[in-house]
Structure 1
């Protein structure tokens, strides 16, 4: 992976990690499905007037929009309202890495190298340490909902690969058109019209800034760049970078929300970083050590 691609992926996961604190802040005022509606509405408008629809099948666009909008963030916002803490949510949703790799092997017949499996095993150890230290702020329902959100994200990853080398920013923008209608229906059914109106009326500048951060920073930049990278690299190279999201998530939660960082969290973060390093650089270092293949 070129260095500039690596730095782009790192910027995306830093935004995604810190975004869990922003989500929690917005949910203090806005009901979860209403927040999702606003997020994808602002991702769609006004950008859709400046970006042409990408040359991809409508079914692909619709599938991606529903999977990311309803499947990932609809479920994530519902869970984060009261069923799971921001730090743990940033961790559990990264099981999408494992879902994506398994789907890629099963459906796309991609090959995952042994060093990549080793890296994922180390990272999984870090995930296991964090998951074993849950507290009363997290419920089984919340974990299940975030796992379902992770699976939706994994399915969306495969759709972006199938879309090929297109304008990925336009892809993310136009797919939002398919996320908004079902989210609006769910907001009406789950949040209720009174809570929807009350949340919007009570929103202050900080809340609207959080919504715009969801739309511009997290959706347009984050998913636009992520989809662009997935269209150019195998899932086994790009997707494991998302394992850094809980590291940024825990760090921002500690800094902004005062969540503690005990030794077990630091050990878990070290395992995740080690797994990521092996996954990204292990194959190249092994090739350098063994030398070029001979006829």
Structure 2
């Protein structure tokens, strides 16, 4: 990779890591549904200037509801219910485990021995993290946050079907498709009055957090990531995502003084190690179809 593109890959990972901190700060001011709505409403602004990509509406909705709406709404609710930000950043990246598992089950993509080992290592790490549930957040909060990597993984597989389209245009329209039902959900759960009050009394901190989440983390960062995946093999780009949980955990420790017990820290490191093994392994083989 060119040095400039290496810098961009690292920059995207840093932005995504800091976004977890921005989400936690924004949730002090907004409800999970309103924060997620604002995130995608801001990221959908480019739809005013770009055409809808040549992707069917059913596919566009399916990708948006899994890759964006399901993942980030669950993430917001999980953080709001007490799941630490640093731990959240690790759990979200476990999507690599579920992506490989779902690809094997649905498309016959047999994991390589290295990927199988990585899945086993990451699974052990998640089980270690499960052992810490109940100390500072509930089992229900953990169940909600686990929706993130599962939804993320399904969205990854659906995204494969949207080929030969401009990534910036696609992500903008995915954000719009997510923002519309999220706005309706916000009005239904929060009520029109509280929603308007939160918007009209938005603080400067809340505004900055939402611009970071919507304009920078979602719109710009996803576009840069898509461009890198277009220009380079995935094996060169995807490992940079391993920086996200390190940035998220470090930033959470500095901003929120988040601490990790020995078991949780070991589990987080084990998950990241398993993901590293999976991402650095060779691509899976396609199982031959049986007549």
* TM-score interval, normalised by the smaller of the two chains: 0.7 to 0.9
Q: Is the 8 A contact 1:247 1:269 kept in 2?
A: no
Aligned to 1:149: 148
The structural deviation recorded for 1:105 is: 1.7
Aligned to 1:21: 21
Cα pair distance change 1:35/1:231, threshold 3 Å? same
Q: Is the 8 A contact 1:90 1:246 kept in 2?
A: yes
Equivalents in 2 of 1:100, 1:120: separation in Å? 10
What are the residue-to-residue correspondences of 1:1-295 with 2, within 5 Å? 8-45=8-45, 47-134=46-133, 136-228=135-227, 242-261=241-260, 264=263, 267-268=266-267, 270-272=269-271, 274-281=273-280, 283=282
Equivalents in 2 of 1:205, 1:44: separation in Å? 21
The structural deviation recorded for 1:237 is: 8.0
Cα pair distance change 1:232/1:59, threshold 3 Å? farther
Listed as ranges, the gaps of 5+ residues in structure 2 are 284-291
Equivalents in 1 of 2:248, 2:92: separation in Å? 11
Q: For residues 58-116 of structure 1, what are the alpha-carbon distances to aligned partners after superposition, in whole Å with 9 as ceiling and x for unaligned?
A: 22222222223431112221222224222232233333222211122222333432122
Q: Is the 8 A contact 1:254 1:260 kept in 2?
A: yes
TM-score (norm 2): 0.82
Equivalents in 2 of 1:69, 1:279: separation in Å? 23
Equivalents in 2 of 1:103, 1:6: separation in Å? 30
Equivalents in 1 of 2:108, 2:231: separation in Å? 17
Listed as ranges, the gaps of 5+ residues in structure 1 are 285-295
Cα pair distance change 1:138/1:229, threshold 3 Å? farther
Equivalents in 2 of 1:159, 1:227: separation in Å? 15
Q: How many residues align?
A: 283
The structural deviation recorded for 1:42 is: 0.8
Q: Is the 8 A contact 1:75 1:146 kept in 2?
A: yes
Cα pair distance change 1:240/1:126, threshold 3 Å? farther
TM-score (norm 1): 0.81
CA RMSD of aligned residues (A): 3.1
Any idea what SS the aligned residue of 1:162 has? coil
The structural deviation recorded for 1:215 is: 0.8
Cα pair distance change 1:133/1:73, threshold 3 Å? same
The structural deviation recorded for 1:231 is: 6.4
More helix by share: 1
Q: For residues 172-229 of structure 1, what are the alpha-carbon distances to aligned partners after superposition, in whole Å with 9 as ceiling and x for unaligned?
A: 0011221112101110111222221222123211110100111122211333344456
